[in-house]
Amino acid sequence: MDIIRYRTSESPAALVGVRDEEQVFGLPGVPSLAALWALPLAGIRQRVRERAAVPAADVTLLPPVDGRTEVWAAGVTYVISREARVEESERSAS
């Protein structure tokens, strides 16, 4: 199962759901991924149980982030980033 953002021809607004093989299940009352992450685990489980199926072929997948969710790259730290900026500064100063 994958948590996804999607839209359908009937709903141009972005929706949040779960994709499981050939079906997509909408999560009622979850307007964004940020809203999903803010729910307690019991709330997420309840939404998953209430889901309604849509054939996967009938949805358009959207990017996994909506512009309101902070994203950090894996393996990047402040130390690595700082060292890279120092190295760039030294090269441009010479």
Residue ranges of the chain with pLDDT lower than 70? 75-76, 93-94
Span 69-93, pLDDT tens digits: 777 777 667 787 788 888 888 877 6
Query: What global pTM score does this model have?
Result: 0.65
**Strand 15-20, strand 2-8: pairing:** antiparallel
**Distance in angstroms (rounded) separating the CA atoms of residues 33 and 66:** 8
Three-state SS at 65? coil
DSSP 48: H
**pLDDT in the model for residue 93:** 67
**pLDDT in the model for residue 94:** 62
**pLDDT in the model for residue 6:** 92
